[in-house]
Amino acid sequence: MVIFLGSIALIVVLLLAEMPIAFAFGIGALVFGLASGSDVSFLIPFAYQTTSSFALLALPMFVMAGTLMAEGGISDRLLNFVNAFVGRLKGGLGAVTIVTCALFGAISGSSSAAIAAIGQIMIPRMVKEGYPAGHATALVACSSVLALMIPPSIPMIVFAVTGGISVGAAFLSTVIPGVILAAVYVGLNFLFLRKVDTITVEEPIAFREAVRRVGKTGAEAFWSLLLPVIILGTIYSGIATPTEAAAIALVYAMVIGFLIYRGLKLSNFPSTIVRAAITTGSIIAVLFFLFVMSRAMILQQVPKEVAEALVALTENRILVLLIINVILLLIGMIVDDVSGSVLAAIVLLPVATEIGVHPIHFAAIVGTNLGLGNVSPPCAPMLYMAAGVSKLTLDKYVVPTMKLLALGHLPMVLIVTFVPELSLFLPGLVLGIE
């Protein structure tokens, strides 16, 4: 256990020194493996075999499909469609941002992709129409992590593969919490902006004209909105595995991008593929070294020791769950959502099952909590990514961010943790999981 804690401390120091995540975990895994006496020549083939698994093949295909759809013009069409419903209300653009981030999560499965695709459009647009820049930044950052909760979520794929549970069930476990959290954020957005006088609102239009605009933008966004239906429909109808559904999504994205939206062209297609490959490569590199470390930890029985230590600390199940949530929050603050999912599956899933938490319920806890950590200062990788779009300093957006997290995301983490029916209902209904 001492060696494990020392290796974790080394990784944290390297991350704080801004070393790339893959290298930080690689060094930490090497130090832990050598110090614990593990055979490194055994650990590396295991990591290679795990990263080359069929289930994990869904990850690069979903990343590539999301990248192609973003380049192909899906973001604008989704924004226009949602804007047709609430764009003429005071604070409507904020609601548009939240809902579109959730919809984009159902296509890309990545919070960083949601910031890149939606944030670059909506933050300047909100500021132009009188929204406080700090509020706009906080809104994009907080709603981007809905992508972790709305399937197909890339972190949920990684968690399920690492933890040995059903990918489809992990997807479904966070759907209801994700939809509720999106609705809460929409309500908070309207509440926070009710006294802001600088916001400009378009003149109201006749009902018939409003219906016409909804129909027009809906028709334009139809092919975009159809993609999540295809992905989830093929998975839960049994037609395709998540990996096969990812392949279908990739082909669909290329057809829509080239032939219907025509945002994809021979001139920008190679660079788009390269961007997707770079993103995938960085994720796989991190996963490889995490799997090296995970095997060394399992050989040294670290997960078992952590479980025994937490249970020995207190027999109160509520306190153990609260401690687990604090650890998840700290993990989410330090590393990205994918890395956090692997660490949670390796170290904390055994603890959760030891105290009687259903693995699918724990998947929902992980998906909800890591999103909170990703936008919680001081580290907050997704928050700083959104700030990179708005070019604001921390003092301008930290207060609106903390208000959204304290009144929206934190209560949702606690509800998901202590009301397991919320996350187990859909897996039980669709897949018969008890």
Q: Which amino acid is at 106?
A: A
Nearest to 101 by CA among 38, 145, 136, 54: 145
Q: Residue 404 is encoded by which pair of tokens?
A: 């959204």
Q: Quote the pLDDT of residue 71.
A: 78
Nearest to 276 by CA among 119, 372, 170, 154: 154
Q: Which amino acid is at 354?
A: E
Placement of tokens 């028709």 in the chain: 219
Q: Quote the pLDDT of residue 184.
A: 96
End-to-end CA distance of the chain: 34
Asked if 268 and 83 count as a contact pair (C-beta separation under 8 A), the reply is no
Instruction: Give the up-direction half-sphere exposure of residue 164: CA atoms within 13 A in the CB hemisphere.
Output: 4
Q: What is the mean pLDDT of each run of 10 residues along the chain (434 residues)?
A: 77 77 81 79 79 76 78 78 80 88 75 77 86 92 87 86 90 93 95 86 80 90 84 83 85 88 86 83 78 76 73 82 89 76 87 90 93 79 81 86 94 95 92 80
pTM summary value = 0.80
Hey, what's the torsion of the CAs at 74, 54, 344, 389, to 10 degrees?
Answer: -20
Nearest to 78 by CA among 244, 271, 232, 218: 218
Cα gap 181→37, rounded to integer Å: 45
Cα gap 26→286, rounded to integer Å: 8
Q: Residue 242 is encoded by which pair of tokens?
A: 């998540």
Q: Does residue 60 have a cis bond before it (omega within 30 degrees)?
A: no
Q: Quote the pLDDT of residue 1.
A: 65
